[in-house]
Amino acid sequence: MTEQRVLCDLEQGVFQVTINNPEKLNALDSAIIGALEEAFRRATDDPEVRAVVLTGAGPKAFVAGADITELQVLDPSRVEPFVQRAHRLMDGIESCGKPVIAAVNGYALGGGLELAMACHLRIASSTALLGLPEVKLALLPGYGGTQRLPRLVGRGKALMMMLTGEPVTAAEALASGLVNRVVEPDELEATVQQLARKLANSAPIALRAILDAVLRGGEMPGPEGLAHERRWFVDICATEDMREGTAAFVEKRKAQFRGR
């Protein structure tokens, strides 16, 4: 992994992933995408990782977009594998089986917003701006934005954002459901860490089941989605964590989940 560009730290079950390219407002280039792929492979495979926080270094940007200087000189024959790699990263984040929180500490534009939308929860600074301005470069959002944004905010709002390329404020993003919570800039880190620790102390199999039932099951026709949920419920009732959780509730004590 390119440690200088993507910093990783695991503490008490919370895996912090920081994009460290502040001189370019944490713009995504090939090296950073590769480093993020590796980071999220680790998050997926490491049982010690219970929750993930993704953010950008510095006070100005989560990720201000893709590295346009790299896109500008990209050979047309390389475009498809380039975009496939970005899709693989976004899909890997969404399907990693651990709850991922985007701490949106500033600009989340273009590929940056697409990265945030691949996360399961988004907590934004009140000063954040979020948008998909690709149309202004004669592009379309190509890292999953045309699919994820309508699912989050509805087709009409998503089309307005993409066709005009104009960003929305954090307050507007909250009102539309694009982010889950907005806090003052000096409260963002503490708020996100508190939420991440809460998730890290929850039952990991149950968290994975909820994520999969919503994300995969939500793409299925109604009866199939319900059957998918039902299979998870049957499986989870056979886990040690379920027995521990129900016992702790009856005994009025804090449960100790082991992911088994």
Which residues have a catalytic role annotated? 114, 134
- As separate numbers, helices (DSSP H) first and strands (DSSP E) second, the chain gives 11, 10
- Distance CA(29)–CA(33), nearest Å, equals 6
Phi, psi at 161, each rounded to 5°:
-65, -40
